[in-house]
Chain A
Amino acid sequence: MTARNAPATRHPRLPRSTVLLAFLAIAETAFAHEQQGVPGGLASGFLHPLTGLDHLAAMVAVGLWGAQLGAPAIWILPITFPLVMAVGGVLGVLGIPLPIPEAVIALSALVLGGAVAARLRLPFAAAAAVVGVFAIFHGHAHGAELPKSANPLAYGVGFVVATGLLHLCGISIGTLSRSPAGGRLIQGLGASIAVLGCYFLVRNLAALP
């Protein structure tokens, strides 16, 4: 009798799928590169506007509304918004508080999303004022994080570039509004942003003391 033919000792075995699931369940984030120096600052600044859903939705809504309003809003918006936002950023860096900033940011998503959904055509000055006020609050939230970052300049570069790209994204999607079907799609997107803003607003107001 050869070894191959010998009766094998049977050990109880776990199914491979169970082992795989167990490994997946205990998985943790691997920090291969610590967020330090210029790369760390750039990464944290770039990701900051992208990881907050209310920020992200409001920035895209600004681009969508600009595209709906057409000239001059569509080209003045990407030029002036970062500057106004930076004013709020400076307030945040200097530690000057603004009233209920998180709730106002959520409100911005609600209002701007609502404006897109309703195809609201305000006079340019009024639209600029609405967007400007919200820009200060968004900038404040980002600016408050700047002193804690690995590299403040890199953080500033990352966050401004990310915000600008979000506007560009909104404006690009907004160009769909030239066709009737695209226009309805944009309005639907605006409505979704408004609902999201409403959710965040209720959550923030409920958390107020």
Chain B
Amino acid sequence: MRRRLNRGAFAAPLLLVAAQSADAHIVASRLGDFYAGALHPLTDLQDIVLWTALGLLAGSLGAARGRGLVLVLPLGLLLGFNVGLSFGSTWIAPLTNAGMMVLLGVLLAAGLRINAAALLAIGLVLALMRGVVNAGGVGTATDRVLFGAGLALSGYAFITLITALALTFRGSDTAPSRAWRRIAIRACGSWIAAIGLMVGGFALAS
């Protein structure tokens, strides 16, 4: 017993001497650029509205048609991010974002069942656009690889979650008691299109 106490009394000061600062937040270890990339689109309402609209559309079309977006969106974001780094990010006009909101919103509100290829094409264009815009958040000291990885992962997580939520909420096509849920998703589309129309009007006016 006494031997154990002696060992403890010897080891405790040694451990205290060897103590180092705990990097609970790995921002200090340069991984902060990863989080900056992941959070950058989530602090911009345009990304949130557009990604939500795309996720709702994918979910409303069913798992088979929407599944491809889980890969296309993050890859498109990465591609657009690289384009933005090379050619600048200011050439995407605000009217383009508004137009995309109207397109996605009208597709949702009308309940049009577009095929998987069309959905992926729309998703790719949207991802390229937003990737370019998000490249504007890269500073001179930012680690571009980490920022881009964070952006792509954020897009992956967001689109997967929203699509899965929309799929679960919508339920199966054969359940008549759930008809109101599909109407609710279409009403969300109408809201998104309305927002796009007004923002487009503002872009034209300014």
Contacts and interface: CB of A to CB of B under 8 A. Distances in A.
Interface in B120-147: none
Nearest to B182: A75
A89 B191 CA distance: 13
B112 interface: no
Interface string A86-103: 110110011100000000
9 contacts: A81-B190, A86-B195, A93-B202, A147-B205, A153-B45, A156-B194, A157-B49, A160-B195, A164-B187
A156 B49 CA distance: 11
Nearest to B193: A83
A120 interface: no
Interface string A132-172: 00000000000100110001111011001100100000000
Given A85-B194, A90-B198, A154-B45, 11 more contacts: A75-B180, A80-B109, A82-B193, A90-B200, A93-B202, A94-B205, A143-B201, A152-B198, A156-B194, A156-B195, A157-B195
Given A83-B109, A86-B197, A78 B202 contact: no
A122 interface: no
Contact of B193 (A86, A94, A146): A86
A79 interface: yes
A78 B45 contact: no
A151 B205 CA distance: 15
Interface residues of A, number: 28
Interface of B: 45-46, 49, 109, 180, 183, 186-187, 189-191, 193-195, 197-202, 204-206
B202 A82 contact: no
Interface string A104-135: 00000000000000000000000000000000
A147 B206 contact: yes
A146 B202 contact: yes
A79 B183 contact: yes
Given A38-B45, A147-B205, A154-B45, A89 B187 contact: no
Nearest to A91: B201
Nearest to B97: A153
What 6 pairs across the A-B complex have the smallest Cβ distances?
A: A90-B201, A86-B194, A86-B197, A82-B194, A93-B201, A78-B187
A87 B187 contact: no
Given A93-B205, A95-B205, A157-B45, A82 B191 contact: yes
B79 to A, nearest CB: 25
B46 A153 contact: yes
Nearest to B43: A38
B198 A156 contact: yes
Contact of A89 (B49, B189, B198): B198
- A38, A86, A87, most chain B CB atoms within 10 A: A86
Nearest to A154: B45
B49 A79 contact: no
Contacts of B183: 75, 78-79
A94 B201 contact: yes
